[in-house]
Structure 1
Amino acid sequence: MSKETPAPAEADVLHRLSFLDRFLPVWIGVAMVAGLMLGRFVPGLQGVLEAVKIGEVSLPIALGLLLMMYPVLAKVRYDKLDTVTRDTTTLLLSLVLNWILGPALMFALAWAFLPDLPEYRTGLIIVGLARCIAMVIIWNDLACGDREAAAVLVALNSVFQVVMFGVLGWFYLDLLPGWLGLDTTAVQFSAWEIAGSVLVFLGIPLLAGYLSRRIGERSRGRDWYERRFLPVIGPVALYGLLFTIVILFALQGETITSQPLDVARIAVPLLLYFVVMWGGSYALGKASGLSYERTTTLAFTAAGNNFELAIAVAIGVFGVTSGQALAGVVGPLIEVPVLVGLVYVSLWLRRRWRARTGV
């Protein structure tokens, strides 16, 4: 699963990102401000949004969430799933990091930093359960990771989330806190609600993404699908995300402006999570004898999170005005600049790695 990728100059990393991806934290910040202004000057917005609902989610927000997820899942190379057994070391390490250590670390950080803020704490734990399936491809390519290995791990995570997200949600939000004697009475939820939200907001776009790739590649070929079709639908995910953020901040404006330090408290454990997961995964891959390319892929697939799904689940289960939804939105605001910085770190390590090995 290893292919050599030409190394980009460190100064060119940001320029290799698309214009939308390069300034994603800026767009999120603008959407937050726009939402706050909308909530201030358009009274009765919540009543308008909730006029038509799908379950407990208003129709406009539900459509925004589905549009946010579809382009992400249309990028996944599902045909790579049959190659996962070729590299058992990378596969097993990825499964352990993504589905055991990652959620456990976020659980620990959420309880350590937000013991008195149960809604935000729950939102962070949900972020920790949503394993990365989209932006990781970008970070991996920029850092000269193994593109084929990334495709395999992303495809695996996409399918695995449908099965495991609800189970792990029940374990980390209900069962484990009970075993540890932690008080969770401030947040009431049903594990079935989590599973239902995952089925709707991941299952539907997952099926649509799979069919898009299968039909598109059969009719026009992979080159057309990835060079023509994906660039056209790609920005839709960002538009769906920004729409959701605008609405969320419009409805939560009073809470946010009255408690700005709470947002900062959400950011701290997120920052630690991304750095610890990336650094630990990188060290583990190197210690296991993986090549630079596979070690890099392992690190980025373990550190990144599917914040689109985390936001969708938080809104679907707890509502758009919930603290859980706000915590999900803070996720990409912290993740994007941190992982861009880690791309530079990875490229620096690549030079040292090659200097030592002569490869």
Structure 2
Amino acid sequence: MLKTAPVPVPAAAAVPLTPTGDFIETWDDKPAAPMPAVELTKMNLFQRYLSLWVLMAMVAGILLGYYVPSVPTALDKATVHGISIPIAVFLWGMILPMMLQIDFHSVVAVVKAPTPIVVCSIINYAIQPFTMYAISLLFFKVFFDSYLGQEKSDGYVIGAVLLGGAPCTAMVFVWSVLMNGNAAYTLAQVAVNDILLIILYVPTVKLLASASNIDMPWDTLLYSVGLFILVPLVVAVVTRQSLNDRGMQWLQTKVIPLLDTLSMAFLLLMVVLIFISQAATITQNWVDILIIAIPLTVQTVLIWGVTYAAALYFKLPFDVAGPASLIACSNFFEMAVAIAVSVYGTGSPATLATVVGVLIEVPVMLVLVAINNKTQHKFTPGHIQLQ
């Protein structure tokens, strides 16, 4: 049963996080490991202006692909079993740092106060994929069908489904700290998300693709999830388990911040490569990016509203409700891009839709963070009592 206690947090329920006196709650009496550096420094330059960097990377890719046609030709040859080697390297560089930040031991503590995790997980996997599918059908197959044509409308629907089936993992830590969120619960929710993702993602997106008679091969889908999600997850878990306390401190304070910065660079390089292949399509159909952005934004705001209302209904404290609403409405766009590239190729409409998801996420999330912070007085005062 969920319990709340008045703030401030009693000294016995918190441990120092940094020399400046910051605290985070822990699930038990054991000292808490330092949170990833991205949380302590708020948003770095890459994160704060991610949409601008992505837009610049898109333009660079389009110019390269349009004016230097030998580049996309060379990239098309750098493949193994249909998977682009450069993009595979960049995707691993993006996803592995996220996995290294997750402590799966925190999942055990969920049973002590399960309500926020259960509410958010139900919205993530029982509601969000299906509302994304419905909204994308409405816009791509009804409102803009005559403009897009069947091939592009089908591809954009699949791209939206790939985004909607995967709740956010990496940027969650940033959104949480911007709302002074409960760090322990944020980590636990991310860990639960990744476990459910491995189990539910493939059957969910396959079901929705089949509902519209859109081809999505099982073998390629499973292979892609295994290569880009399961394998990095196993590597991360083994790495964390093999480290002692000193090694874990080094991982959290030195390695992960460095990898986080590199992961942003890998993301931008991957966007450049994708838009090299998309150059001909975009120069002729740049309006498509605006069309794709509309339903993705509508979906984000809708799911945020559903989670926000659910948090009020269940009387969740703001330090949990705020991050939960952002976890539910944002997407694991890195994985969606990886699957789209592997299954449909870099030049596909599905891949373009997932990349537009990257473009709109940061500005929309920052607006929702601001709304959450301005309305936090509406939530139950206190914090989650974990003991």
Q: TM-score, normalised by structure 1?
A: 0.89
Q: CA deviation at 1:164?
A: 1.4
Q: Distance in 1 between matches of 2:115 and 2:219?
A: 34
1:201 maps onto 2:228 in alignment: yes
**Structure 1 residues 358, 34: closer, same or farther in 2, change over 3 A?**
closer
- Once the two structures are superposed, what CA deviation does each residue of 1:10-64 show, in whole Å capped at 9, x if it has no partner? xxx9x83111111101110110011011112222223312334232112112111
For residue 231 of structure 2, what is the amino acid of its counterpart?
I
Residue 221 (structure 1) shift:
4.4
Alignment match of 1:192 (pick from 211, 215, 219): 219
Q: Is the 8 A contact 2:163 2:357 kept in 1?
A: yes
Give the CA deviation at 1:312.
0.1
For residue 262 of structure 2, what is the amino acid of its counterpart? V
Task: State the one-letter code of the partner of 1:205.
Answer: P
- 1:345 equivalenced with 2:371 (yes/no): yes
Structure 2 SS opposite 1:189 = coil
Larger CA deviation: 242-251 vs 345-354: 345-354
Question: Among the aligned pairs, what percent are the same residue?
Answer: 28
Q: Secondary structure at the match of 2:56?
A: helix
Residues 87 and 270 of structure 2 are in contact (CA less than 8 Å); yes or no, is this contact kept in structure 1?
A: yes
The change in CA–CA distance for 1:51 and 1:59 in structure 2 (over 3 A counts) is: same
Distance 1:338 1:164 in 2: 26
User: Are 1:213 and 2:240 an aligned pair?
Assistant: yes
User: Paired residue for 1:282?
Assistant: 308
* Equivalent pair of 1:35/1:249 in contact (CA under 8 Å): yes
With 93-102 and 306-315 compared, the bigger mean Cα shift is at 93-102
Distance in 2 between the 1:41 and 1:258 partners?
Answer: 14
Q: More helix by proportion, 1 or 2?
A: 1
- C-alpha displacement at 1:119, in angstroms? 0.6
Partner of 1:260: 286
Could you say which residue in structure 2 is the equivalent of 1:84? 110
Question: Quick check: 1:54–1:62 contact (8 Å CA) kept in 2?
Answer: no
Aligned length: 341
The answer to whether structure 1 residue 143 and structure 2 residue 179 are counterparts is yes
Query: What is the CA–CA distance in structure 2 between the aligned matches of 1:4 and 1:36, rounded to whole Å?
Result: 52
CA distance in 1 between counterparts of 2:326 and 2:156 reads 25
What is the letter of the counterpart of residue 126 of structure 2? I
Structure 1 position 71, deviation (Å) = 1.1
CA distance in 2, matches of 1:142, 1:358: 18
The Cα of 1:212 is off from its aligned counterpart by 3.0
Alignment counterpart, residue 129 of structure 1, candidates 165, 175, 178: 165
Q: Residues of 2 paired with 1:250 and 1:55: CA distance?
A: 20
CA distance in 2, matches of 1:358, 1:294: 10
| SS in structure 1 at match of 2:54 | helix
* 1:1-359 aligned within 5 A: 16-115=42-141, 116=145, 117-174=153-210, 177=211, 182=212, 184=213, 187-216=214-243, 218=244, 220-351=246-377, 353=379
Q: Is contact 1:166–1:192 with CA below 8 Å preserved after alignment? A: no
Deviation at 1:358, TM superposition (A): 9.4
Q: In 2, Cα distance between the equivalents of 1:358 and 1:28?
A: 38
Deviations, residues 161-198 of structure 1 (Å, cap 9, x unaligned): 11211111111111xx2xxxx5x3xx422133212111
Question: What is the Cα deviation at residue 149 of structure 1?
Answer: 0.8
Aligned to 2:36: none
Unpaired segments of 5 or more residues in structure 1? 8-12
Question: In structure 2, do the counterparts of structure 1 residues 25 and 4 end up closer, same or farther at CA, with 3 Å as the change threshold?
Answer: farther
- TM-superposition CA deviations, 1:216-244 (whole Å, max 9, x none): 4x262443322222111111221221111
Letter in 2 for 1:159: I
Structure 1 residues 192 and 89 mapped into 2: Cα distance closer, same or farther (>3 Å)?
same
C-alpha RMSD of matched pairs (Å) = 2.3
Question: Does the CA contact (< 8 Å) of 2:132 and 2:299 recur in 1?
Answer: yes
Structure 1 contact 85–91 (Cα < 8 Å) conserved: no
Measure the CA separation in 2 of the matches of 1:125 and 1:312. 13
Distance 2:45 2:69 in 1: 34
Q: What's the TM-score, normalizing by structure 2?
A: 0.83
8 Å CA contact 1:165, 1:195 repeated in 2: no
